[in-house]
Amino acid sequence: MNALRPSSPKRFAVSRIVVIAALVLLLPRVAHAEAHLLIEADSGKVLEAENATVPWYPASLSKLMTAYVTLKAVKDGKITLDTLVTVSPLAASQSPSKMGFRPGTQLTVDNALKMMLVKSANDMAVVLAEGVGGSIDGFAAMMNDTAQKLGMTQTSYVNPNGLPADGQITSARDLAILARAIIHDLPEYEYYVHIPSIRFGRRVTQNFNKLIGRYPGADGFKTGFICASGYNLVASATRDGRRLIAVVLGASSGTMRAVRAAQLLDRGFANNGLSWLTPSLGTVDKLVPIDTTPPNLRDEMCSGKRHKPASDEDDDIVASNPGGPPATGETGVTFYASGLQPPLPKPSELLAMAPAPSEPVVVYTGPTRSGAALVAAEAADADAQTPAKHRGKKARLAARRPDAAEPAVDAKRGDNKTGDKIGDKETDKKSAARPAANRHPSAKADADGKPFAAADPTASEPARPKNSTKTSGTKTSRTVTAAKPATKPKVIPSSEPKPAG
């Protein structure tokens, strides 16, 4: 015994070194905390959980509750999808991502929901909140009341869009409960959470949820990001009639959150026949909340060169994670899937593919429209997106075009009696470039709303006899030199537009 005592202090020192080294190795993992949760949509059974009851900043996942409260008001008959809501100065002042409409712009609840859930538009969330709840505070009270009724005991809301606020808190557990509520309480409106893309005027926006259109069976929900929360995602997918919900909080990029969710879903679907081998984790509502403060990932997400707005418009730059797990952690997927289903691409490969082709859903401002009125609304929104300098150029060109009442024009020079030169080479080239016969009736109109003037009807005619022209002041006289026919050829206006059909 005594012979061992001298070496005890050395052993103690070595043990301390080992413990400290282990803590140092673990620090990067703790610094980049993530929360993961996978459940069955029908039963609420928990299939995987990691930090699922740790409080978290929801970011734009708050818009799921905004959509739930709004659509519940529609279902209860308090408003309709055609109800007009107005962009207030407060809504217009919200940080990106947003549509950027001017105060006073009106649009339907239907279009505002689509813009909010696909583009994650912060201004549209406020528009809906003010339209349904009267004010942000009034709507936040409705959100919190709904959260309590659904059993989201770790959740509180301050605003409808998830922009940074100390009191805006949730957890993976509560978000999974909300996703289940959307599926079960609002099945007729679930379409809103899996729209692949929208088109507003000329601008097409793809859903920030990268699983939609790429991951087999993906059918919903929503993304979120602020510096403090990292990249968040609630995603769902259905295979063989079985629907799963995955929640990922705190991922290092938009791509990474999608990869993590795909991994969770892969394991959940692959383990369907082996669920009896895994211990039961209970149901999502029975998970025990942890009383702590939400992790703040601001330094890791947005410090140094990683300056980012509080927006879902991800540039796919993956944050460094020294000492952490592999970049994708995809080695486990092969183990779970081996022998149980045909081999699938790795999640990272799957998400690198282009999304499945789909027609963007058209959104627009103003009241509900259809047919020709909808086409006109789309054209107006597209024209509003044209830069002012280009709109000014179009207006000037349109102003220089003569109307049907203007006097005859010299067939060779194109000078009218006022001296305005409207048949010069540059204009002739533009007219020839867009012949009326080749333009579709629904082709884009000029900035003033009139259709383009018809092409010069003389452009395709045979050469005419030579003319000698004498000009005096603003008047033009003409002498025609021709052997046959002896009669003077009729002068045809070179730029006179055709009557509307």
DSSP for 140-190, please give it: HHHHHHHHHHHT-TT-B-SSSS--S-TT-BB-HHHHHHHHHHHHHH-GGGG
Q: What span, in angstroms and rounded, lies between the C-alpha atoms of 486 and 430?
A: 34
Q: Which DSSP category does 82 fall into? A: T
> Greatest CA span in the chain, whole angstroms?
138
Q: Of the listed 62, 88, 120, 495, which one is catalytic?
A: 120
In the chain, the amino acid numbered 384 is: A
Q: Please say whether the beta carbons of 262 and 191 come within 8 A.
A: no
CA gap 147, 162 in Å, rounded:
15
Q: At what angle do helices 62-75 and 109-118 cross, to 10 degrees?
A: 160
Joined together, the tokens standing for residue 326 give 């592999």
Is position 120 annotated as part of the catalytic site? yes
The residue among 25, 8, 5 whose CA lies nearest residue 321 is 25
Can you tell me which residue has the tokens 């796919």? 316
Tokens of 192: 């809103």
Query: Which 3-state string (H, E, C) describes 120-146?
Result: CCHHHHHHHHHHHHCCHHHHHHHHHHH
Nearest to 476 by CA among 428, 425, 426, 411: 411
Beta-carbon count within 10 A of 137 CB: 11
Tokens of 269: 């679907």
Spell out the residues 6+ positions from residue 467 whose beta carbon is closer than 8 angstroms to its own: 411, 412, 478, 479, 480, 481
Q: Which of the residues 63, 72, 114, 119 is marked catalytic?
A: 63
Q: Measured between alpha carbons, how far is 229 from 303 in angstroms, rounded to an integer?
A: 14
What's phi and psi for 491, nearest 5 deg? -85, 130
User: In 10 A of CB 451, how many CB atoms?
Assistant: 17
Catalytic residue ranges: 60, 63, 120
